[in-house]
Structure 1
């Protein structure tokens, strides 16, 4: 059996950092993930799914410190469904992603048009007892230097790739 989720989307609001009574950090945020669909016409429309994400321990504190509303992020984790009884006595089911790795896909400094596509990522294991397993990769200063030879720069145009270039 496998329960693994990988999402890329934008935060709908700033992450909310809280602490359990035992002092364990937990952060919750919602990721808006585009979903293309066909409306019957020859054009492709987009809708968004709003996925709740939960992070724990050091990863939670890192996300609370560095992620903000509108930022592009990649989340890896597992899907979890939990339930509880609300004040009216009704059973409420909550589906959320428990993240063990979050990558920041945009620079915190978005002015001047030069964006880094991957600022850094932080991962941690919920089983590690208390912390993040490193994984901090920061972008070098060469990414924001305006290098026009960067093959990964996003100029807003579609990328033309032939089937022969794909490895699968």
Structure 2
């Protein structure tokens, strides 16, 4: 079974970071993803989805130092659902993405500089025990490095 989310979007606000009683840091922010489509009349429409993002520990610390409202980021994580009771005793439910890795794609709004690489390299893998860098400088593969597409490739998507 797999629970994997990959998003590329813009921060809706600066990360809200706090430390819990046990010392763990948590960061929260919203991330907007957009897509365009043609409606029945042939007019282009934009659809924006807002995602609630939660980051923990060292990833939250990195977010506090590097992320600002408006930045475009690549984010990997997992989808989670939480239920709780509000102050009035009403049951509430929310869906969140618990981010495990992010990379700045575009820092056009007030950032410290961006990186145009959308996708992480092996160095960026949070589970790679040899990873000593929090941000990779690995270049995107060139078209010469990409595998050629052959007629035998019969993918269902």
TM interval, shorter chain, is: 0.7 to 0.9
Q: SS in structure 2 opposite 1:105?
A: strand
- Residues in 2 aligned to 1:62 and 1:109: alpha-carbon distance in whole angstroms: 13
* Shift of residue 133, structure 1, vs aligned partner: 6.5
Contact 2:72/2:104 (8 A) holds in 1: yes
Distance verdict in 2 for CA 1:87–1:61, change over 3 Å: same
* Shift of residue 68, structure 1, vs aligned partner: 0.4
Aligned to 1:118: 117
Aligned 1:63-102 pairs, distance under 5 A: 63-102=63-102
When the two chains are superposed, the root-mean-square deviation of aligned CA atoms in Å is 3.1
Aligned to 2:20: 20
Tell me the TM-score normalized by structure 2: 0.73
Aligned residues: 137
* Shift of residue 118, structure 1, vs aligned partner: 3.3
- Residues in 1 aligned to 2:12 and 2:24: alpha-carbon distance in whole angstroms: 24
* Shift of residue 59, structure 1, vs aligned partner: 0.6
Q: SS in structure 1 opposite 2:64?
A: helix
- Structure 1 stretches (4+) deviating beyond 3 angstroms? 107-110, 118-125, 132-135
Unaligned segments of structure 1, at least 5 residues: 141-150, 153-162
Aligned to 1:48: 48
Contact 2:66/2:112 (8 A) holds in 1: no
Distance verdict in 2 for CA 1:84–1:34, change over 3 Å: same
